[in-house]
Amino acid sequence: MEKQILITGGTGYIGSHTAVEFINAGYEVIIIDNLSNSDISVLNGIEKITDIKPIFYKVDVTLKAELRKVFETHPNIQAIVHFAAFKAVGESVEFPLKYYHNNLTGLINILECMEEFKIKNLVFSSSCTIYGQPELLPVTEESPVIKPESPYGNTKKISEEIIQDFLNSTQGFKCISLRYFNPIGAHPSAEIGELPIGVPNNLMPYITQTAYGIREELKVFGSDYNTPDGTPIRDYINVVDLAEAHVAAVNRLLKDKTEDKFEVFNIGTGQGHTVLEVINAFEKNTGVKLKYRITNRRPGDVEKVWADTSKANKILGWKAKKSLAETVKSAWEWEKKYREKTKASI
Ligand code: WQD
């Protein structure tokens, strides 16, 4: 029997790339998504890449009755990869309750269904934002977790705590929490990629949209940080590499190799880049000149953070493989292909 997994938020940016990697690894994939921040056409992209259309249900994880039906229909799900959540940092400051409600209710419903339907394995989508500005770099999993500045970030911290309390109260349930650094780029086929609704908040889609002429210019938020060129440093991880980490995590859970019920792993490249380095890499590898301007700092931004990935390298047997050069290029190829496609359909 094929190994069957459920991916919540599977038509989203990271979810869709992860679905592809699970299909490539021979899993049967069931996707649920409420399509609040993604498009149903993503399923066609997944099918073009893999020749397989995943089973899909338009389900909102905050609605327990809807969610239960999926588990009743599919009694052989072995693991859940839980992405479905709101993720806009700024919006979460404006509407904190929306974020706490959605992200925490969704998680609790997933955990309750795991308990009811005896699904023992969970991979949770966490974030390096819970480290804040670490004192020591690169940041290891032992680094203290702080209360993040944004309600979005705080839902990730609280979610990890909820999961641990659940695991401590039960027998046999396990979770791997993957703390992502900054996911960027797109599938090399350019069939799936990042598709923010409205004005992007994150650097990479802002770059590609500016390059395409959708945005007038990129604002670089501050050049007076204590870094080599004054702009903040992040660990930009290719989304396909990131997706592969989820397969490694589920494989580990299913082989029952986990040492603790709850394991956390940093998922990054182990290398930091400044904003200006990302811009330079983009210009150099795409041949497109980017219009940008240095402006004030963005409130809430930390100065520098990059991952120590040795735990994931050693225990998950996973390592980021793709360079910044090919990653920024993949983001550009996706932006162009997507815009051409949507132009053609107007
Ligand atoms: C990266 C760098 C900005 C936009 C956030 C969340 C994190 C995760 C990913 C996900 C920073 C600079 C950006 C722009 C800029 N969440 N920048 N001009 O803030 O590191 O992380 O997204 O779902 O939890 O906190 O990522 O891409 O927004 O910024 O200069 O228009 O680019 O200042 O230094 P961030 P980002």
**DSSP assignments along 281-303, one per residue:** HHHHHH-----EEEEPPPTT--S
- Quote the DSSP letter at residue 8: E
Can you give the pLDDT at residue 197? Answer: 87
Whether residue 257 is predicted with pLDDT greater than 90 in this model: the reply is no
177-212 pLDDT per residue, tens: 999 999 999 999 999 999 998 999 999 999 999 999
Q: How much is the average pLDDT of 221-225?
A: 98
Residues flanking ligand 1, CB < 6 Å: 87, 89, 127, 129, 153, 182, 201-203, 206, 218-221, 232, 234, 275, 298, 301
82-102 pLDDT per residue, tens: 999 999 999 999 999 999 999
Judged by DSSP in three states, 150 sits in coil
Judged by DSSP in three states, 238 sits in strand
Residue 228 C-alpha to ligand 1 middle, in angstroms? Answer: 18
What value does the mean pLDDT of the chain take? 97
HSE-CB of 209 using CA atoms within 13 angstroms: 20
